[in-house]
Structure 1
């Protein structure tokens, strides 16, 4: 599962000109892609990460502030553009697999106490958002399974020292 989290001041998702989900206050937009190996446990783990990551103003989390989350399914997060001129979508799970896992992710967020808005699964959506910062973070279930490095990579790996 891949989730792109974006800190926003407001956001909305529309289908056919009708707003189906919106944030009228600061929160997070979560663009959610599902792959073949994902399951409900992965969805729950990433929901917990989403809820507890300190991405909001003052290095606070949605859990601390009660900020809402707008979750939007996006299979294109698993697009592979390494060959040719058209991306391959073969790594993205098909709708019958990914829809229940997208629902599991949003249900897990709600169980944690999140106010969750969503787009419409499988629909052609227009997503409007105002990035704040901008702050954008990628959560990838494949990366979460790997152990964290305890020292910088060879070459000194610079950490964040201030605004870009």
Structure 2
């Protein structure tokens, strides 16, 4: 049960932010906070999902602060199905970024993507250290999460451009 405490605390924060957005009738912002909660659910629970091959022993790993860390990006064995799913996982949040803050441009998308990837992986690292969460902290996840945010925001920008041309 103790391994769930960080996720429960974060969920209560997301719930409060979502409730506030809904009470203010800011439904786009509500979707943003629900998206943040969804990413936290996928990355900060003590339930690990594996969609790739067995990469243990094939990827250079380090045991740091109660968890396995991957610090070398783009090793061949680490570019499995889960590598690509990390991009897909964060694209909706990138689209919500573009929907909520349409004046942002690609440098801000890149910063938001890096912040997202670093936040998710830092949360996993802290969870490993505090409650033995059992999640891998992977530089590839930071990079793929960032790419997903940028692609999602770019897709939303493209949709906006196409709808403006039609008007």
TM-score by length of 1: 0.32
Structure having the larger proportion of residues in strand: 1
| Larger RCO of the pair (alpha carbons < 8 Å, separation 6+) | 1
TM-score by length of 2: 0.31
